[in-house]
Amino acid sequence: MSKLQMEGSEWREGVAYARGQFVDPGAAVIPIEDRAHQFGDGIYEVIRVFEGRPLLLDDHMERYEISARAIKLPLDRSLDELRQLVVDAVARSQLKDAQVYVQLSRGLARREHAFPAVPSHLSLTVRPLNDADFYRVREHGNRVMFTEDVRWRYCYIKSLNLLPNVMAKQAALDAGYDDAVFVRDGYVTECSSSNIAIVKDGVFYTHPATERVLHGVTRRFALAYLKDAGIPVKEEAFTPDDLLHADEVFTLNTIAEFSPVVEVEGRKVGVRIAQSDSVLRRLQAAYQTLVKGL
Ligand code: PDD
């Protein structure tokens, strides 16, 4: 098996799975004509692992199936089998803090636009994750800028086509910010790789789970917790101006969990987040409880 030109041990950490077996994470095992590679024709999930256990795995499996169905992509195995593979891969990696990346492509076939008559192709990695980086973000927050949401209409599908997302993220970094907040038709949708919420006068607002945003697993956890805690929720789109005047602004995703947004294009926002009884801090605490109960 030939090795790609990947320097350093980073590429070798964790485990990888492709073409039906565990493989060396640094090895070139996927043929150049994979639909994921040539068309971005596939879907993915990112799952967080704490203490060697995947968090909210059932929610990820549910969304994986929804994404696959939405692009008429047949699953290559049952969800139970996939769930077991994720658990086995994590055990095999011996990693405590990790992220699992699962990708399903429309298969390995000669490049033609029409769907090929080949099986879907599942690949997966388990990679170490240094939570210290995310801890810093969770405590000190992100500085963001607004950007036009030029993505396609079906952002609820966790598709491999992330070009607008990576373009937006890089534009934000180039401008000296940490991330970009997408705005479509005058309303905030989400960020380059997370959902976003605000709190105003004790009410939690986030974009409704329509075609325009990813239906985040972390978002779902938040809604369930807030309902239990009796905190009012409005799944309503809000404007950039609402965000600028909110008491709290924060992002939600599997990797960075709940992270404050502290500045938008040079303006301080969400000043209430630092208070110990803020909705953000309560969500962070609830998430820690979930993690400890794993
Ligand atoms: N991204 N919105 C977008 C555009 C995302 O890419 C993500 C997650 C989310 C939050 O979803 P969840 O809570 O299920 O992680 C919202 C992952 C982490 C990624 O692409 O790496």
pLDDT digits (tens, 9 = 90+) for 100-110: 999 999 999 99
Listing DSSP states for 30-55 in one string gives S-S-BHHHHH--EEEEEEEEETTEES
pLDDT at residue 93 tops 90 = yes
122 and 189 belong to one structural domain: no
- Looking up residue 199, the CATH number of its domain turns out to be 3.20.10.10
Distances (CA, A) of 30 to 8, 164, 235: 21, 25, 41
Tokens 């980073």, located at residue: 10
Residue 119 shares a structural domain with residue 179: no
- By CB atoms closer than 10 A (0-12, 13-18, 19+), residue 141 is buried
* 285 and 162 within one domain: yes
Average pLDDT over every residue of 251-264: 96
6 pLDDT higher than 60: no
List, as one string, the DSSP characters of 117-176: SS--EEEEEEEE--HHHHHHHHHH-EEEEEEE----S-TTS-BS--HHHHHHHHHHHHTT
Q: Is residue 77 within 8 Å of 122, Cβ to Cβ?
A: yes
139 plus 125 within the same structural domain:
no
Looking at the structure, do residues 87 and 164 belong to the same domain, yes or no? no
Instruction: Tell me which of 44, 191, 214, 218 to substitute to probe ligand 1's pocket, judged by most ligand atoms within 8 Å of the beta carbon.
Output: 214
**Quick one: pLDDT at residue 9?**
62
Q: Is residue 266 part of a domain?
A: yes
Do 69 and 94 sit in the same domain of this protein? yes
Task: Please enumerate in sequence order all residues whose Cβ is within 8 A of that of 167, keeping only pairs 6 or more positions apart, or say none.
Answer: none
Q: Between 232 and 5, where is the model more confident? A: 232
For atom 16 of ligand 1, the residue with the nearest CA is 194
Q: Verify that 101 and 144 share a domain, yes or no.
A: no
Residues 119-142: pLDDT tens digits? 999 999 999 998 888 888 888 899
Tell me the sheet residues that pair with 259: 251
- The pLDDT score that the predictor gives to residue 233 is 98
Within-domain flag for 224: yes
Is the pLDDT reported for residue 234 higher than 50?
Answer: yes
Residue ending a domain, among 111, 130, 149, is 130
- Number of structural domains the chain divides into: 2
In a domain, 3, yes or no: no
What's the gap between Cα 227 and its chain centre?
A: 23
Minimal-distance CA residue to ligand 1 atom 4: 193
| CB 180 within 8 Å of CB 215 | no
Handedness of CA 131, 46, 178, 141 (dihedral sign): negative
- Spatial separation of the C-alpha atoms in residues 63 and 104, rounded to whole Å: 13
Residue 2 falls within a domain, yes or no? no
Last residue of a domain, one of 130, 150, 177: 130
Which percentage of the chain shows pLDDT scores above 70?
Answer: 96
Does 4 map to a domain? no
The band of 8, judged by pLDDT with boundaries at 50, 70 and 90, is low
Question: Does some domain include residue 40?
Answer: yes
- Give 58 or 8, the one with higher predicted confidence: 58
Asked whether residue 197 carries a pLDDT value surpassing 50, the answer given is yes
Q: Both 270 and 171 in a single domain?
A: yes
Confidence (pLDDT) at 1: 39
Quick one: which H or E segment has residue 145?
strand 142-148
For ligand 1, the distance from its centroid to the CA atom of residue 154, given in whole angstroms, is 14
Q: Which pair of structure tokens corresponds to residue 279?
A: 């909705």
Residue 206 sits in the same domain as residue 121 = no
- Measured in Å, residue 253 CA sits from the centre of ligand 1 at 5
Is 31 contained in some domain?
yes
Average pLDDT value for residue range 186-210? 98
pLDDT of residue 36: 97
pLDDT-derived band at 96 (thresholds 50, 70, 90) equals very high
Q: Are strands 179-184 and 142-148 parallel, antiparallel or unpaired?
A: parallel
**Same domain, yes or no: 114 and 186:** no
pLDDT of residue 139: 83
For the cut 50, the answer to whether the pLDDT of residue 165 exceeds it is yes
Q: Which one of 73, 108, 130 terminates a domain?
A: 130
**In terms of residue numbers, what domain contains 217?**
134-292
Do 118 and 163 lie in a common domain? no
- CA of 194 from ligand 1 middle (Å) equals 5
Can 158 be counted among the known catalytic residues? yes
CATH code: domain of residue 37 = 3.30.470.10
pLDDT at 2 over 80: no
Whether residue 82 sits in one domain with residue 17: yes
Decide if 291 contacts 55 (C-beta within 8 A): yes
